[in-house]
Amino acid sequence: MKIYIDGKYYSQDDAKISVYDHGLLYGDGVFEGIRIYHGRIFMLNEHVERLYMSAKAILIHIPLTMDDMEKALLETVARNNKKDGYIRLIVTRGVGSLGVSPMTCKKPSVIIIVDDIQLYPVEYYERGISIITASTRRISPDSLDPRIKSLNYLNNVLAKIEAIQSGCLEAVMLNQNGYVAECTGDNIAIIKEGALMTPATHHGALSGITRGVIIALAEKIGLPVIEANLTQYDLYTADECFLTGTGAEIIPVVTIDGRPVGNEKPGETTRMLIDAFRKEIATVE
């Protein structure tokens, strides 16, 4: 494995960052998770653009142009000879003092890791997963805008712990007003009365790249799409439910807090969207 750090490549054992990097000390940085299909990077432009938007929002000036970043990503994938896999693209604030001030950090660091990812066992894509609602609430958008994909994921980690302790793989997170925001690492959507409904981003949901692809595919097949104010009641009474994300792709949900979704099997519309998504990634260029 060859890992890119600030323009140089290192083996996994030799790839290191400073203990004074504010990405480590304070979670001060941004990242993207990107999939590789058939040796091609999926939605490359969209991921890079979102990274730069996140960095701009927290006043990090990435020391590469967007074109150079894309070239670095392509080169790192090529050096690792990865046909199908996952990229973790990270930009940290860089090395600074032990104080919280970002002004002591002279230059951001760029890290590119190319590896494999398997969030859910293969069989769960056929039979679906069970999820719970976490008691941990999503950080309010007026505290941290969810469109910033930051390195500080402790909020999500705490909700993930709840899921694991409950014997589930994922947990739904509500916002401070009780509306559905997202899951710990995925966006969530339901099918209700022939429409696809998903939380609006202003409720605390990340504007996911895969979420956007699924919305576009739904509209293409004539499925109405509504960004809605969803509550637990809406989840409990949904006809179908699924999660979307770079790592997860699209995975059906069959129970929520012990309540069956539909007939407790992946729904017809969900399967249709899964098939459409698989066709989409099969044509990645």
Q: Where in the chain is the domain with CATH 3.20.10.10?
A: 124-282
Q: Where in the chain is the domain with CATH 3.30.470.10?
A: 2-115
- The per-residue pLDDT for range 161-182, each reduced to its tens digit, is 999 999 999 999 999 999 999 9
Helix (H) or strand (E) holding 33: strand 29-37
Report which of 175, 176, 139, 177 is spatially closest to residue 157, judged by C-alpha positions: 139
Task: Calculate what percentage of the chain has a pLDDT beyond 70.
Answer: 99
What is the structure's pLDDT at 285?
63
Active-site residues, by number, are 149
Confidence of residue 211 (pLDDT cuts 50, 70, 90): very high
- Fold for the domain defined by 124-282: D-amino Acid Aminotransferase; Chain A, domain 2 (3.20.10)
Separation CA 66–CA 29 (nearest Å): 17
What is the structure's pLDDT at 207?
87
- The per-residue pLDDT for range 93-133, each reduced to its tens digit, is 999 999 999 999 999 999 999 999 887 888 999 999 999 99
- The per-residue pLDDT for range 23-74, each reduced to its tens digit, is 999 999 999 999 999 999 999 999 999 999 999 999 999 999 999 999 999 9
The CATH class of the 2-115 domain is alpha beta
